[in-house]
Every structure is written in structure tokens, then in C-alpha cells.
């Protein structure tokens, strides 16, 4: 067990898949990601819609940066656009070393265009429904019954 005594930060981005992802390729990616994330106390969720990824990552700043470096260096995607990178007061996905679910294109678009700037004000308690984090939490809660962690 680790504590969150260190300052917590969160990163969200969208990117484009560099290849067709088979179920096996996705599983391999997640296994690798989760192993590294557990070691660095990073949690979060990954959404995929065939062509694009959306990822939300949270954890102590130092570990989070190591994970983000690996992600940015990965040749399995390109065109990464960062939509959030800041200090946060608490975790939203503490049980997920990297949750995964497929998402419809509509949801991917909504998340990439949502307001993420109010995250700090919103995050205490339940994030408001029209914030990026609120949308992500709502989508994740209804989707996460279907896929493994």
C-alpha cells in the first residue's frame, strides 16, 4: 500500500492509434501499462474507439511523469494532444491501475472538447456533470461493469 502524501497530479490526452489494435495487442499494452503503473502508484482509465485513445492518468507527480514519458515515447500511437496536466486534490480512479473500456466516437469527442479547466474546483466531492471529469466519471461508472481492471 502507498499513501498519497506526495502532491497528486493528473494528465489527460487524446491520441491516434498507429495500427489496428487486435484484442491481443490491447491486452499486451494493458498488461505492460498496469505493471509499470502499479510500481509508480499511477491510476486511471483508458478509452478506445478503434482509431483513437483517450487516457486519464493520476498519481504522485514524479511517478506520473515517468509513466507519461513512456506513453509519449510509444510508437503504438501518434498525434498526442494534451488536454489536462495539473495538480489535483484527490484521485478519481483509485481502484484502477489502468481501467479500460471501448467508447463510442461521440463520447471520445465530448471528452476531448469538454471543459477540463474547472477540474480543481469541481473535484472535491462529485465533479459536476458538464465538466470533462464529470463526463468521464459518468461514462466510466456505467461502462466499468463490463470490463476488467
Query: Which span sits near ligand FMN by CB under 6 A: 2-10, 73-81, 109-117, 122-130?
Result: 73-81
Query: Is the Cβ of residue 75 or residue 124 nearer to ligand FMN in the bound state?
Result: 75
| Surface-to-core class of residue 36, CB atoms within 10 Å of its CB (0-12 exposed, 13-18 middle, 19+ buried) | middle
Interface map 74-113 toward ligand FMN (x if CB under 6 A): xxxx--------------------x---------------
How far apart are alpha carbons 91 and 23 in whole angstroms? Answer: 28
How far apart are alpha carbons 26 and 82 in whole angstroms? Answer: 22
Interface map 38-67 toward ligand FMN (x if CB under 6 A): --------x------x-x-----------x
User: For 17, which DSSP code?
Assistant: E
Dihedral (C-alpha) 84, 105, 91, 4: value to the nearest 10 degrees? -70
Q: If binding is defined by CB under 6 A, does position 124 make contact with ligand FMN?
A: no
> Nearest 5°: phi and psi at 130?
-95, 5
Q: If binding is defined by CB under 6 A, does position 133 make contact with ligand FMN?
A: no
Q: If binding is defined by CB under 6 A, does position 36 make contact with ligand FMN?
A: yes
82 Cβ contact list (under 8 Å, min separation 6): 11, 12, 13
Please report, as ranges, the residues that interact with ligand FMN according to CB under 6 A: 29, 32-33, 36-37, 46, 53, 55, 67, 70-71, 74-77, 98
Amino acid at each position: 500500500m502507498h499513501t498519497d502524501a506526495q502532491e497528486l497530479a493528473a494528465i489527460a490526452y487524446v491520441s491516434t492509434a498507429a495500427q489496428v489494435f487486435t484484442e491481443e495487442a490491447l491486452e499486451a499494452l494493458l498488461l505492460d501499462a498496469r505493471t509499470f503503473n502499479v510500481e509508480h502508484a499511477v491510476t486511471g482509465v483508458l478509452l478506445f474507439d478503434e482509431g483513437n485513445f483517450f487516457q486519464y492518468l493520476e498519481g504522485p507527480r514524479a511517478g506520473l511523469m515517468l509513466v507519461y514519458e513512456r506513453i509519449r515515447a510509444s510508437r503504438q500511437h501518434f498525434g498526442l494532444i494534451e488536454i489536462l496536466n495539473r495538480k489535483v486534490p484527490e484521485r478519481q480512479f483509485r481502484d484502477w491501475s489502468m481501467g479500460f473500456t471501448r467508447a463510442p466516437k461521440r463520447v471520445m469527442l465530448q471528452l476531448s472538447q469538454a471543459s477540463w479547466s474547472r477540474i480543481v474546483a469541481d473535484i472535491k466531492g462529485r465533479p459536476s456533470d458538464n465538466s470533462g471529469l464529470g463526463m468521464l466519471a459518468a461514462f466510466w461508472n456505467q461502462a466499468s461493469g463490463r470490463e476488467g481492471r
